Amino acid sequence: MKIVVGMSGGVDSSVAALLLKERGYDVVGVFMKNWEEKDASGLCTATEDYDDVRRVCDTIDIPYYTVNFAKEYYDSVFSFFLEEYKKGRTPNPDVMCNQEIKFKRFLDYSMNVVGGDYLATGHYAQIDFVNERYRLKRAFDHNKDQTYFLCQLGQKELADVIFPIGHLSKNEVRRIAVENNLATAKKKDSTGICFIGERNFTQFLSQYLPAQPGNIIDLAGNVKGTHQGLMYYTLGQRKGLGIGGQGTGEPWFVVHKDLDKNDLVVVQGDSHPALYSKSLEAADMNWVDGKAPANEFKCMAKFRYRQSDQGVVVRVTEDRLFVEFDESQKAVTPGQEVVLYQGNICLGGATIDSVEMI
């Protein structure tokens, strides 16, 4: 059985390839390049990552290739990313990358060009097969669980995918890499948005969207300062506003972006009611099982990655999802994903359109 492993140049995909090789599979490593540009220091991180892939594949003795999806990524993910920012929303390109690139175009490439029977990645997630249906389950290491970013996968994708490290903790993955002398054993985990990496986000975004400075105002319309451009801020943001020390001395938080007036609206204090909402409406819902559990049901939800589970009541219509929170939630942000869970099972996710304030 041939298994194609999506190799990122990180420790997780490296160990995934190693474990499959040790189990006796015919393993092929493929490095996927999604971004062509160099970072602020003039380095192309994709080149460095590919060098690490080469070293790891040589160590575990498997063939390796590279495929370039930079154009497809720009057309399907990055263009959408820019359009969402123009609308004042905060998109999640990692979710869309998994949906449109890794588990669509790359999966098709792995099956039909490389000739694989399965695609494996280094994601922290698990898959099982119950009652003739595939289920997407949280990883053993809940702190590293990545089902939030995989919420748009369905039965078709899960039938052809393997997550070899989903049952391991991150410490165990590191240990296996060290014991087998993999070049990525002590490599720092990547952070930030998938294609941007750790470069300055404001500087990066300004290359594609012209900044339009404007006023920072409170709910009464009083000017508190100036902003660099609405696209650089997200709901609930505290740092980088540059208006500390005013009023009560408590920190200020972003609660609204007025695109018509180009005003950034802020409130003072972590407990201000304008920061909190009681429900949301979402669209583009994906059910991992292919259908909703019921027209109305209770479950747990996350509105951002690494958030603890929140109790909700979900109501499903033909094309919309209405989610009522058991407890008011802070800074639920349009453009982000709401991901639903029952126990360790990820039911799916949808894109947040709007929220209802308390």
Model pLDDT, residue 201:
73
Q: Which of 24, 17, 26, 30 is nearest to 183 (CA)?
A: 17
**Phi/psi of residue 344, nearest 5 degrees:** -95, 5
| pLDDT tens for each residue of 164-176 | 999 999 999 999 9
Is residue 198's pLDDT more than 90?
no
Fold of 2-179: Rossmann fold (3.40.50)
CA distance 49 to 32: 10
The band of 180, judged by pLDDT with boundaries at 50, 70 and 90, is very high
Of the listed ranges 16-20, 75-79, 195-199, the one predicted with least confidence: 195-199
Q: For 181-190, what is the mean pLDDT?
A: 91
Q: Could you tell me which residue, 297 or 358, shows the higher pLDDT?
A: 297
| 105 CB neighbour count, 10 Å cutoff | 16
**Helical ranges in 223-340 per DSSP H:** none
CATH class of residue range 275-357: mainly beta
Q: Which region, left, alpha or beta, applies to residue 214 given φ > 0 means left and ψ of -120 to 50 means alpha?
A: beta
How many percent of the chain have pLDDT more than 90?
Answer: 84
Radius of gyration over every alpha carbon of the chain, rounded to an integer in angstroms: 22
Q: Which of 57, 194, 299, 346 is catalytic?
A: 194
Half-sphere exposure of 266 (CA within 13 A, CB side): 30
Residue ranges per domain, the chain?
Answer: 2-179, 210-270, 275-357
Does the annotation count 57 as an active-site position? no
Model pLDDT, residue 199:
62
Q: Which residues of 65-101 are buried (b: 16+ CB within 10 A; e: fewer)?
A: bebebbeebbebbbeebeebbeebbbbbbbbbbbbbb
Q: Which of 57, 97, 151, 346 is catalytic?
A: 97
Q: How far is CA 309 from CA 91, 167, 305, 356, in A?
A: 21, 20, 10, 20
CA distance 266 to 223: 10
CATH class of residue range 210-270: mainly beta
Model pLDDT, residue 99:
95
Model pLDDT, residue 210:
86
The band of 204, judged by pLDDT with boundaries at 50, 70 and 90, is confident
CATH topology of 2-179 equal to that of 210-270?
A: no
CA distance 330 to 275: 6
Task: Kindly report the pTM of this predicted structure.
Answer: 0.93
The DSSP bridge pattern shows strands 321-330 and 310-316 to be antiparallel
Does the annotation count 194 as an active-site position? yes
Q: Which of 157, 53, 52 is nearest to 106 (CA)?
A: 157
Q: For 65-92, what is the mean pLDDT?
A: 92
